[in-house]
Amino acid sequence: MIEPRATKVLVIGYVWPEPRSSAASGHVMQILDVFLDQGWDITFSSPAGFGEQRADLTALGIDEVPIELNNSSFDAFISELAPDIVLFDQFMMEEQFGWRVEKHCPDALRVLESCDLQSLRLGRHQRLKERLKASDDNNDFNELFAPAAREEFEHMADTDLAKREIASFYRCDLTLMVSEVEVELLVEQFRFPRNLLHWCPLMVDVPSRASVPFEDRAHFLHIGNFRHAPNWDAVLWLKSAIWPLIREQIPGAQLHIYGAYTPPKATALHNPAQGFHVMNWAEDALQVMSSARVCMAPLRFGAGIKGKIVDAMLCGTPNVTTPVGAEAMHDQEAWPGAVTRSAREFADHAVQLHNDKTRWLDAQAHGKTLLASRYRKTVHGPALIQRLVDCQQNLANIRRDNFTGSMLRHHQHKSTQYMAQWIEAKNRLNQE
């Protein structure tokens, strides 16, 4: 009897995963882990250079194959590999390689992993800029944090990024979304077909061990990749408005800020006299999170769900954030800390959590409950596999019913193909 071969998966990454640097890479690694649990044969490719903190995929049994943009060598590579599933990590990779995948492996299931809705993040960033330009008040952001879904749509709909991003979703057979809020925005406002989306949040193993106790912890913590604009803005808001209010109440308070790819403009904010410590990259993010008493995530814009807050819950560390930080993360469950809308409110709740052990323990317990109810790998991993298998079995019907996607592939892929071939020919001439 011939044994059936393992499902072949090709993941085309925008970057090589750096799970210790970003939540987006962490989510990709979680998906890869789910595939490995199935015994699937995985190849990871990316046109990006190797980053400083990239994961060692080969140690996990995953093949690493660098690829190039606008180079027909990819055609021979994917034809020989013949994957059953191709996962694009971020829509830009579908734009670049989607037409090649369709041409050489037309029967492969095409899946897009969306770490967040980038056009939503851009729209919110623009609203923040408008708000800051209109007022010098760096404290109260109630209006910023209370837009209706229609207002979100109106800030996104006319942007080139939204048109590119959502067109890419249509061209795929399935798009993985980490945020239920973003699913509803796409379905209700953009009229995107719900059957082409799958909710796949961060997936973790709920810890059974005891967390570091309250008495053995100290200081406040902020953590986040500095290349991610919402994180940099959060640090600026901490420095200018929130941290001075905390120091008024706790004069000796210390804030440790960690983040990958720390730029000079961030290290310039380092000021031990003010208890404001820019610590660069954390070798072990969970270790520094476990030693902190309060995690602070003052996000004034952003999208998706927040890896730093999931990490805080894993470590039993209460957090203070904003409606942007808490969005799509807790449904009806109690928040493991506080959700605030102004610098003063943020500072007051952070101080209360820092000083009040009873409140701190309640927040920690809420975090454990939330992890178990919404982020268990044992729930979302099998659900993801089942959805992919169902899509494979119904692929012809999915594509037939998605005429908009077929139309977009016809027009966009033709133009992308001709542009890529022109660039490749030009590069060849330049090398001769």
- Answer yes or no: do 56 and 134 share one domain: yes
Contacts for 40-43: CB closer than 8 Å, 24+ residues apart? 40/6, 40/7, 40/8, 40/9, 41/5, 41/6, 41/7, 41/8, 41/9, 42/9, 42/11, 43/8, 43/9, 43/10, 43/11, 43/81, 43/83
* Domain membership flag for residue 405: yes
* Domain membership flag for residue 398: yes
- Answer yes or no: do 150 and 274 share one domain: no
Segment 164-192 shows an average pLDDT of 97
Percent pLDDT > 90 in the chain is: 83
* Domain membership flag for residue 22: yes
| Pair 260, 308: CB distance under 8 Å | no
Q: Provide the domain limits for residue 196.
A: 8-121+129-203+378-431
Give the dihedral of Cα atoms 55, 57, 63, 66; nearest 10 deg: 0
- Answer yes or no: do 77 and 222 share one domain: no
* Domain membership flag for residue 338: yes
- Answer yes or no: do 350 and 385 share one domain: no
pLDDT digits (tens, 9 = 90+) for 324-376: 999 999 988 999 999 999 999 999 999 999 999 999 999 999 999 999 999 99
- Answer yes or no: do 163 and 282 share one domain: no
- Answer yes or no: do 111 and 230 share one domain: no
* Domain membership flag for residue 1: no
Q: Cα(223)–Cα(297) distance, rounded to whole angstroms?
A: 8
pLDDT in the model for residue 280: 82
Average pLDDT of the chain? 93
pLDDT digits (tens, 9 = 90+) for 229-238: 999 999 999 9
Residue 223 has pLDDT above 60, yes or no: yes
Label residue 92 by pLDDT band (50, 70, 90): very high
- Answer yes or no: do 82 and 177 share one domain: yes
Segment 60-78 shows an average pLDDT of 95
pLDDT digits (tens, 9 = 90+) for 266-314: 999 999 999 999 998 888 899 999 999 999 999 999 999 999 999 999 9
- Answer yes or no: do 14 and 47 share one domain: yes
pLDDT in the model for residue 138: 80
pLDDT in the model for residue 1: 42
pLDDT in the model for residue 267: 95
CA angle 51-52-53, nearest 5°? 95
* Domain membership flag for residue 186: yes
Helix (H) or strand (E) holding 368: helix 357-374
| Pair 301, 278: CB distance under 8 Å | no
Segment 319-327 shows an average pLDDT of 97
Label residue 416 by pLDDT band (50, 70, 90): low
Cite the DSSP H helix spans in 172-298. Answer: 180-188, 229-237, 243-249, 264-267, 285-291
pTM of the predicted protein model: 0.92
Six-digit token string for 379: 């729930």
pLDDT in the model for residue 4: 63
- Answer yes or no: do 218 and 327 share one domain: yes
Which of 330, 347, 375 is the endpoint of a domain?
Answer: 375
Label residue 425 by pLDDT band (50, 70, 90): low
Segment 378-383 shows an average pLDDT of 98
pLDDT in the model for residue 66: 97
Which of 336, 356, 375 is the endpoint of a domain?
Answer: 375
Question: In CATH, what number is assigned to the domain containing residue 329?
Answer: 3.40.50.2000
How far is residue 170 from each of residues 97, 110, 197, 400, measured CA to CA in Å? 15, 11, 10, 12
* Domain membership flag for residue 209: no
pLDDT in the model for residue 415: 62
Which of 375, 395, 422 is the endpoint of a domain?
Answer: 375
- Answer yes or no: do 405 and 329 share one domain: no
- Answer yes or no: do 269 and 299 share one domain: yes
* Domain membership flag for residue 3: no
pLDDT in the model for residue 2: 45
Overall number of domains in the chain: 2
- Answer yes or no: do 337 and 371 share one domain: yes
Label residue 239 by pLDDT band (50, 70, 90): very high
